[in-house]
Structure 1
Amino acid sequence: MAAADSTFLSIKGPGSINGEAFHKLSALATLALLVGAFAFGNSAFLSVNNGLTLLLQTSVIGLLGIGMTMVIITGGIDLSVGSVLALSGTVAGLLVKAGVPVPVAMTVAVGVGAVCGLINGLVITRMRITPFVATLGMMMIARGTALQLTGAAPISQLGEAFGWLGNGALFRMVEKMPNGLSKVVFPGIPYPAILLLIVAVGAAYLLRRRRLGRHIYAVGSNEEAARLSGVNVERTKIAAYVMSGALAGLAGNVLMSRLVTAQPNEGVMYELDAIASAVIGGASLMGGVGGVSGTMIGAFIIGVLRNGLNMAGVSAFIQQIIIGFVVILAVFIDQLRSRR
């Protein structure tokens, strides 16, 4: 352990840490500027309801982004998370439709995501196939399986309990009006946002305080040096992909629960949003650099962009173009940092 820690510390010197902190502060300043610009253009942007809507919309991308960050830190990539999300959510819907209790069905769905991640990790480490190709294959396999299981048709009428995770809220306050109708005083904090916070804190603790987290950074910084220091490189990479798959399964539960319908066509292009949130937040595609807090900032930058542009009436196609430019800029900055 001491050898691995010394390798980790020698690879990630003060310069790289300061560069990561600067990138994170830049992303935070960008987020603040975006919030200010959209609030200036539309006073409803800073309303409580819109803020809670933003939290809800960002939760799925945030969960995917955390898993993607772990994979990117190892120097890999996971293009399958959007399809794994769809497959996991579909499996949960099918199980609930068959009479399985919702908590059990959702737990199985997370397990399905973890198995997909395990397969990705094994293909990459044992078959020596590049992460891009391996996860691209899993993307097609998972999507095809979801479509085959459902006949490409949505699974509806899953019951109120299935929508509890995605549509429930903590501290929701409702009062009865004199006419007998109900009035929402405070919509509450969405459960998906609370779940995202718990996962983010746990992932940050894992990366910064646990042996596995240190090994993930060491593998991404210098794989050969990590191996010579006693780090089990293959097991570390597999663990990163398993966590990415499991979080994709969890995100699938959240998204399908919000819709109260299992949609096999959901999650298309979500992997790009997950990659964008990690890169915008400071994760380096070269590996060895990144963190959960930066990814959360990146996820909210994407969420604020989508939300603000929607409120401004900008089409979804133009939104994709703008986010594409943002991603290119973030990667360009990362390249400049790597050269320095």
Structure 2
Amino acid sequence: MMTAPKEPNSARLSDRQKDVIQKFAALGSLFVLIVVFSLTSNAFFTVNNGMTIALQVTSIALLGIGATCVIITGGIDLSVGSVLALAGVVAALLVKEAGFPVWLGMLGGILTGSLCGVVNGILITRMKLPPFIATLGMMLIARGVALQITGARAVSGLGESFGELGNGALLRIITVGDDGFPTVVFPGIPYPVILMVVIALAVSFMLNRSILGRHIYAVGSNVDAARLSGVNVTRVTSFTYILSGTLAGLTGCVLMSRLVTGQPNEGVMYELDAIASAVIGGTSLIGGVGTISGTAIGAFVIGILRNGLNMNGVSAFTQQIIIGLVILVTVWIDQLRNRR
């Protein structure tokens, strides 16, 4: 009886290697950007600007973490930008109109994001809608509700305590000079950055060291094989959308805290940044491949690119063109990898 020839070792290793290669390619691009912008702007490679970049990247990274888990299962979530806005204004309204403590209002905002994720999960797993259509519908609904409940106006007058999460920092050092004015010696590590690192480590551990993480990869690699192996595909898929919605809700609360205002128009196009950060970091759009560390690198590539272009006086319109080209080239490379 003839047996099928064994697959060469190089072919067996290619699936593991391609994610590592993409991640190191993104890391190399990150270092190149740092060197180029350091040479073109004296203010780029400074502690203050580094903290500014890290703070700006938090939104992309948090949304990207959720997007990574969804994309690994073979799905997509286009609703996170609108869910972010809805969660943020809900938190602001709970604090201002209902008189809730800030922490409780923000918890309400995060749970709003989780609820949107639950609805996405039901639409996709129970009603069998394509993820693109289901989350596109949620994107329109969440944005509409955010505008409706605020009358399309910003929610202001939230008090200083509302801005503590978004504007506070750990280990900030301030001295008072002889003239009586405070001087910031070290800006500290912003709370959103600490939050981003903790969540990234937790989700990375979940993907790499838990049964749930293995099931997420299994669903994205081959959904039929995963189902036959005993994986509850419905629950696993729903979990990724709930996680994405929850992180969008958290991001909304952090952003509104930074602004100390509830903005119903916040988060436009953020879903594209989230997806781009995941893809740049090696997450495959066909599912089954992706890491949180790669997504973090991708988020910093986008953040540093924007920051460096701003410092060099590049217009916002040109920045959109450049980042759009980066996304197109990255997805093209991903497609080439998968064909091989």
Does the alignment reach a TM-score above 0.5?
yes
Distance 1:170 1:13, change over 3 A: farther
Partner of 1:199: 199
CA distance in 2, matches of 1:13, 1:167: 48
1:127 aligns with 2:127: yes
Deviations 1:76-100 (A, max 9, x none): 0000000000000000000110210
Instruction: State the Cα distance separating 1:13 from its structure 2 match.
Output: 5.3
CA distance in 1, matches of 2:255, 2:126: 33
Instruction: State the Cα distance separating 1:179 from its structure 2 match.
Output: 1.8
CA distance in 2, matches of 1:332, 1:63: 25
Aligned residues: 329
CA distance in 2, matches of 1:161, 1:71: 34
CA distance in 1, matches of 2:329, 2:143: 30
CA distance in 2, matches of 1:168, 1:42: 27
1:160 aligns with 2:163: no
CA distance in 1, matches of 2:119, 2:316: 34
Q: SS where residue 61 of structure 2 aligns?
A: helix
Partner of 2:17: 18
Q: SS where residue 240 of structure 2 aligns?
A: helix
CA distance in 2, matches of 1:13, 1:306: 38
Partner of 2:238: 238
Map 1:73-112 → 2, pairs under 5 A: 73-98=72-97, 99-112=99-112
1:63 aligns with 2:69: no
Question: When the two structures are superposed, what TM-score results if normalisation uses the length of structure 1?
Answer: 0.96
Identity among equivalent pairs (%): 62
Partner of 2:212: 212
One-letter amino acid of the structure 1 residue matched with residue 78 of structure 2? L
CA distance in 2, matches of 1:37, 1:176: 36
CA distance in 2, matches of 1:13, 1:252: 42
CA RMSD of aligned residues (A): 0.9
Distance 1:13 1:239, change over 3 A: farther
Q: SS where residue 184 of structure 2 aligns?
A: strand
Partner of 2:27: 28
Partner of 1:184: 184
CA distance in 2, matches of 1:307, 1:273: 14
Partner of 2:255: 255
Instruction: State the Cα distance separating 1:250 from its structure 2 match.
Output: 0.5
CA distance in 2, matches of 1:333, 1:102: 45
Instruction: State the Cα distance separating 1:328 from its structure 2 match.
Output: 0.6
Deviations 1:170-206 (A, max 9, x none): 1000111112211111111111111000000001001
CA distance in 1, matches of 2:318, 2:12: 40
Partner of 1:143: 143
Q: SS where residue 185 of structure 1 aligns?
A: strand
Instruction: State the Cα distance separating 1:249 from its structure 2 match.
Output: 0.3
CA distance in 1, matches of 2:77, 2:320: 20
Instruction: State the Cα distance separating 1:14 from its structure 2 match.
Output: 2.9
Deviates most, 171-180 or 68-77: 171-180
